[in-house]
Chain A
């Protein structure tokens, strides 16, 4: 799957890409779920139109059962700044049933010096989304998903992942110093390589402080060895309207602390869906 994605998204091997998909496969990206040959073929073509030929400067794979989470850090020709592209593939080793992908379009905009408006126009219309209002409080029910309750098999990372999750789910910012190793790499949306816990501290605060009734929901957690991949989203109120921000995070650990983190979200697609939002201004 890794080779296929690299060949497709850096060289344009559309035939190899198509042969890995089923008639019923879908590709979800930029808040749009695409079905059918026409739309599926447009995914790599649109990427190559925007980014051109590019190189992989780092790749990561976290695999468990039928899920492969692949992260590519891509470098566009004649441009130095990297772009994060994360793929969450449901596959059986031969074919892909579904893909949830997040490409950091703000990084693309910065790397290629393309105006955000131009990127916005090039993105597909987001799917209609209705987020019915709900009580985001637990009310002593123990109903919220945590990493450890989604990891079925015994896992040594449970405590660490639960502590990491509280940074987002409970705004437990003081856990940042505990869960991250003293020297760690973090790659955050729209921002290039960061290296300190204060960057993480500020990133969490910058999101939380602009929103009310924030609720973080885990969708899936994949564990392979000392690495974990997490698919999640933030629901919140912003200026009285509901917003949803999908994210993917890949965590490398030394078993006790996180040594690197890549968190990807598609800021421009988010802004296209939520016109009123000033979350990333």
Chain B
């Protein structure tokens, strides 16, 4: 894939990222002129809001109406973005966001840019959070924030955070965190969206969020095949055609694998908790990295029926299993050398616990 001059964060230190010296490499229609490209925009506004604690800048960098989807909730107004940012900073006062990569896509003059921003956050839990009481412990977590950026504002966001990895570091069990989360209030808009998504994914339908600007053809095919072959067809013998023999994979909750047998095991064990699940490939971005290397960002979804292997979750068997996930792939010479997959297991389990608690089955047992 042809190289371009858009900011590449990998070898750049923070001062350099905060004061870019290069000429603009993208047109960025109606963005502030200080930004030289979409990567610069994402990195700098994230730093200003989170590290520099300028939460009010959300008013400048988010549209007033901005749908934000997570696996645990939905909001569409900037006031909620500000409220949630404030609550997170109160619970984790030293939260630092380290930008690992931004994989982007030009959506065309009238739609702006799509950015998939992979972040490592480090933080200390000093006050109560969505997972329970303060633990005083520190942890790190991988987040992938997929945003549509238009005329200097984020106008749509899908936010995936590896909360199960975080809660384990805080000393909270996954089921305790999910149970606590399930007791927090939800809203109708979220439940409507979740029900619609589950129906769509089970039917194998494409998401309504489609853009038609061209992608690198082979990378797009690779991403589509990766979802269909592994998640839908369950052709795990094909793992070797997607991954190098020493490929590294990071999945939620501390799942780490290297090499074909281990990676195959990750897919088999994970999909065994919803064996008939369907998956959809919801968005693809592709950018060149170094030399023969390409970065692909995929947002994908899975829906099926929960068939737990863990006894702790056995009573939730039969509930709707729904995942909204993001994956960053580093491709060298046509195969994956490194993968980061992120979704919120805590919210996924919380949704099933809430469904169970609200179901007739639960009423009957009691």
A-to-B contact residues, CB < 8 Å: 22-24, 26, 33, 35-36, 39, 92, 95, 97, 125, 127-136, 141, 143-145, 149-150, 215, 217-220, 233, 235
Contact = CB atoms under 8 A, between A and B. Distances in A.
| Contact-residue size bin, chain B (C-beta under 8 Å from the other chain) | 35 or more
Interface of B: 9-14, 17, 96, 98-100, 120, 122, 140, 165, 168-169, 237, 240, 245-246, 248, 253-262, 264-266, 268-270
Contacts of A149: 245
Contact of A134 (B140, B240, B265): B265
B246 A145 contact: yes
Contact of B266 (A39, A128, A132): A132
Given A24-B100, A134-B268, A220 B165 contact: no
Contacts of A23: 13-14, 17, 98
A145 B96 contact: no
A39 B122 contact: yes
Contacts of A97: 10-11
Contact of B98 (A24, A144, A215): A24
Contact of B265 (A39, A132, A144, A233): A132
Contact of B254 (A95, A128, A136, A217): A128
A214 to B, nearest CB: 12
A35 B11 contact: no
Contacts of B240: 141, 143
Contacts, number: 102
Nearest to A21: B13
B246 A218 contact: yes
Contacts of B248: 219
Contacts of A95: 11, 13
Nearest to B254: A128
B258 A135 contact: no
30 contacts: A22-B13, A36-B122, A39-B122, A92-B11, A95-B11, A127-B169, A127-B254, A128-B169, A128-B254, A130-B255, A130-B256, A131-B257, A131-B262, A132-B265, A132-B268, A132-B270, A134-B268, A135-B265, A136-B261, A141-B240, A143-B245, A143-B260, A144-B245, A144-B261, A145-B246, A145-B259, A218-B245, A219-B246, A220-B246, A235-B262
A39 B169 CA distance: 15
A131 B259 contact: no
Given A134-B268, A218-B245, 9 more contacts: A23-B17, A36-B122, A127-B254, A131-B262, A134-B262, A134-B269, A143-B240, A218-B259, A233-B258
Nearest to B243: A143
